[in-house]
A and B are shown apart, each in its own frame.
Chain A
Amino acid sequence: MEHRPAVLGVLKQFLRELPDSLLPYDYHDVLMELAQEAKSICLQQVKAIIYALPLSHYATLRVIMLHLKKVSDHRRQAAEGKSRYRSVPDTVYLPSKEIEEMFAPLLIHPAKTTRWTGTNSASRIVIVDLILNECAEFLLDEEHGLNVPNDPQNATRLSLGFPKV
């Protein structure tokens, strides 16, 4: 029996049940506003916010984003292979924002008290998409360490090279 979907389910459950989401409530309104801004401004501000996160939030976000990056790369390759084989457009196999949609409400919880009501899921997806696709270079940055998720030494290296909160 394939158990890994269940593992993914547990991971999602864990993220969902965090009392404060990975991108904390404090930044919720700011992020939602940023999603409306131009991409360059948004990117800059999101990076600043990510650097200002508490260590545990930053590290976890980083690990998860690295993983999602891997998944989306893998998916793209698979789609290209399939499209070459079956000669169908990529889009059929690459529902572009599926991963972002899945993880957006997990990384940025819908805040309980906010003036942003209703359909801010689109804004969340914009932010997560941005972090995933544009912030990769600094998430992968070697100087912050931690490329292997289950390496405690790398984890401690991360805590050393991390900017002060």
Chain B
Amino acid sequence: MDSALLIHRLHFAFTVTFHYLFPQLTMGLAPLIVVLKTLGLRRNDPIYNDAARFWAKIFGINFVVGVVTGIPMEFQFGTNWSHFSRFAGGVIGQTLAMEGLFAFFLESAFLGLFLYGEKRLSPKAHWWSAVAVFLGSWLSGFFIIATDAWMQYPVGHTIGADGSAQLSSFWQLVMNPWAWWQYAHNMGGAAITGAFAMTSIGAFYLLSHKHQEHARVFIKVGVVAGCVFTILQLYPTGDGQGKMVAYYQPVTLAGMEALFEGQPGAPLVIIGQPNMDERKIDNPLIVPNMLSFLTYRRWEAEVKGLDAFPQDQWPDNIPLLYYSYHIMVGLGTIFIAIMVVAAFLLWRKKLFEARWMLWILLLSLPFPYIANTAGWMTAELGRQPWLVYGLMRTADGYSKTVSAGNGLFTLLGFMGMYMVLGILFLFLVRREIEHGPATIESAAGHAAGY
């Protein structure tokens, strides 16, 4: 691989992976905060507002890091991927500009109001500001997904005389079926991160005998949301997303499964290591015919393998693609098990005493982050070697004027900067967790800050 190409790919991959650790929590927490505020309004119980205030602070910290790591993403379209921008800007400029105009303004304006305006606003108005933050963050997610979906499955464009893609149908762009499945699946993933974060902190407080009443609220809301979203993540959204890949990027599906040879009644590989030299899976643990069934709902259906495609169309890192996909699916399955058991215990009113389960909930915090990251790696590695599927190869999209040396310089700079940012972020969040949920009076003193 051309070294400048590699540097630019790593540059984007590193910065976007780090960036997405933060929006996935804010997008996941936003609806849960609305739920807490709604309960507070309905039941007129301050405990829900205290809980919402606590999570709004965590949200606020994540939002700031999300914004400062998000600006580099927009910039990199121009700085590191200028040939791609010239080619695709006429189409995806639409969705990216709409994100700025519709989502960011909404989210940032009302987040300020939500965080600093609780005393000035009526409870109703404060509830509305939570809803506006939720809408803003989920709209933002949609426009980004619509952008990525166009790169996965380009629709609604024509190729102009200068060779660049130009918008021909706005509705096709925003109603792209790929975008809607991917959006549903991605937001479900974010909601799972939010739900696990909430239950994990709740479990931590219960286990350490602190803020127990708030902790029960966190766990109740988190487990119910987690149970719903982990199941939706498998069906229908995961299934729908998988079908999109099977129909429109069959070679990607073959790569995800590391299915070297096409066959009727293809097996599903649970565990095993792709061996690219011998074109087989080492140490496989398989479920016969399962892949055919999952993809086409017929046990004997023919699934195309990598051998059906010329090698220059194959995703360029099949083992990593295969692992990303299997990690995502494996973790997703475990999440369902955890949340269903927790919900059962909650229903039987045994969860708050079941220390073993609280420990599991506490320790599960990092795994939704891993699953979400692996999911995005599946999407992006799976699209390779294309930058815009079928239209532009990744190798043609980067900035030819920015040398590998300059790219490496800024990549290292970002690594250093993000390390500092990450440490400071953990420090701030730990401090909020240490401090715990507080009443509005004592919160004013603490938020002092200001």
Are A and B subunits of one complex?
no
| B contact set with A: CB distance below 8 Å | none
* Residues of A near any B CB (own CB < 8 A): none
